[in-house]
Structure 1
């Protein structure tokens, strides 16, 4: 979205990335150089795998070195005025080596360990040490832009606060997810096509994340909706980019998408969203003014931190994914739907986003270097 704005203004934009992101960027018509991957490992149960990720550390270091070399060559070839990094260190290292100005956009200054590991004092000490080290690395950028609300409403608070080495450079620019732009006509059209009764509650269960993490939550969700009050309508999206975009009926009150092409419209018409703890999904829920039930990926420190903050702010309920039962999800949905305080808090947070447009702010800051 930032690149689209810059290109409309006559600037040339080139990307570097890897995996699904590189394919997505190329499909949008941008030149994208593919670099070596540095990715987390996931368990068969759909959680973050500490064991497998630790086993990948030698590969991470090797690929990180490759990334720095590749980025240095890329920047030397295209000679950019400014480098914008989306939560990646290697472009910042390359930019520093070549004395090119750089900006980093991130909502996770430090890596949070899983709750199980954080019970150990030595683990908390390690987490703080790594956090300070990463904080000092991020400060290689000329500016650190946090796509979030300013304190005390910062959703990523657990992931960025209490890191002294980076604290002075943090700039809160507002959410970098698209502002809702769906018309009443669009929403009404989707509601009519699904036969949704607007006088009855609508719940949108939007599953997202790496492919390995989705099946477990989908199974729980399919059982949970059977236990809801029959008056509650629901839509489930399994978040599979290759899934069916035509919905299929589930019982008398629900629909199921493999991939939902009208996600924003359903966000808008829903009374409650069931989400993972990803920053983008939660920021969009706030922009739509919707209360949430969050089910973060197991052992995923960032999502657990985001979900905990949302619960602290009072706009939703957080459920722990390990051993989650359908009854627990159904009860949480009923609890949030039945309490107006969650809706009121979501509306209050929505009002804070009206004058903060993260996309516009990033684009404006980038232009100041051109």
Structure 2
């Protein structure tokens, strides 16, 4: 099950072995207290799982650490396997010719991010690229020294990411590992609690900075420029560590082990 609580309930009811794939167990940053009863309800089913697969690297470098919480306290520490990211970890070479900001998410989220990012980047001397994540007719506009695309193909996105000096994004788990794979220092503008938790861990590891408005984004870019060697060194170290893991292959291996145990039971 990949986040499907109903599937876990059915597995428990029919006594089937179950594997839960998640990067969110007991969030500890910005989680609304009103949602805690639902969180505890979900944990009941997690405790009955045969295995919990986290598509992240093991501690102390786990990016989603603050979204997992105290696994011992939850009662699932012995079931958790950190298999590595599902994002392709093949090494990528590139340059440092621009700042890249791939915007994604619901309409309201994208609007908020563009209102923060574009005015700041358009005033910089350095070239910048922004993707609005709006599928449909492809359009390109120039705002100051910032080139804005309505959307990018996967190949274009990969090229802009590979040649970025700095990446600005919201802190989604997959994009965190995409940025780490390219070994790029970053600035996160979280719009959801789980994104803030990921961003906080990246910041604590010296790979990223957090910004939530135009003023803070401007300051963060300046700080990155002054201390870029520090951030590059930290993110390269994390990137090298993350590449040791083949997340998809390891996850398949663990799922097959659980399935075989179910057959032999």
Same fold? TM cut 0.5:
yes
Structure 1 CA distance for aligned equivalents of residues 82 and 220 of structure 2: 31
Tell me: higher relative CO, structure 1 or 2? Use CA pairs within 8 A at least 6 residues apart: 2
Instruction: After TM superposition, give the deviation of residue 181 of structure 1 in Å.
Output: 7.0
Distance in 2, matches of 1:180 and 1:214, equals 29
Aligned partners of 1:206, 1:112: CA distance in 2, in Å? 26
Among 86, 105, 108, the alignment partner of 2:2 is 86
The aligned counterpart of 2:16 is 100
Contact map agreement 1:243 1:257 (CA 8 A) in 2:
no
Distance 1:211 1:180 in 2: 32
CA contact (8 A) 1:175 1:358 kept: yes
Q: TM-score, normalised by structure 1?
A: 0.63
Give the one of 162, 173, 182 matched to 2:70: 162
Equivalent positions of 1:63-78 (< 5 A) are: none
* Separation of aligned partners in 1, 2:105 and 2:249: 26
Query: Secondary structure in 2 aligned to 1:86?
Result: coil
Query: Partners of 1:181 and 1:201 in 2: how far apart?
Result: 19
Match of 2:226 in 1: 338
Q: How many residue pairs end up in the alignment? A: 254
Structure 1 unaligned spans of 5+ = 1-84, 118-122, 188-197
Partners of 2:243 and 2:90 lie apart in 1 by: 11
TM-score by length of 2: 0.86
The unaligned stretches of length 5 or more in structure 2 are: 261-265
Equivalent runs, 1:224-235 vs 2, <5 Å: 224-228=120-124, 230=125, 232-235=126-129
Structure 1 residue 281: Cα displacement: 0.7
Q: Which residue of 2 aligns with 1:290?
A: 184
Task: Within 5 Å, give how 1:136-147 maps onto structure 2.
Answer: 136-147=44-55
The answer to whether residue 208 in structure 2 is matched with residue 316 in structure 1 is: yes
Deviations 1:76-116 (A, max 9, x none): xxxxxxxxx1122111111222333221110000255737x
Pair 1:206-2:102 in alignment: yes
The equivalent of 1:152 in structure 2 is 60
Over aligned residues, Cα RMSD in angstroms?
2.4
Q: Distance in 2 between matches of 1:86 and 1:177?
A: 16
| Other-structure match for 1:191 | none
User: CA separation in 2, counterparts of 1:167 and 1:367?
Assistant: 20
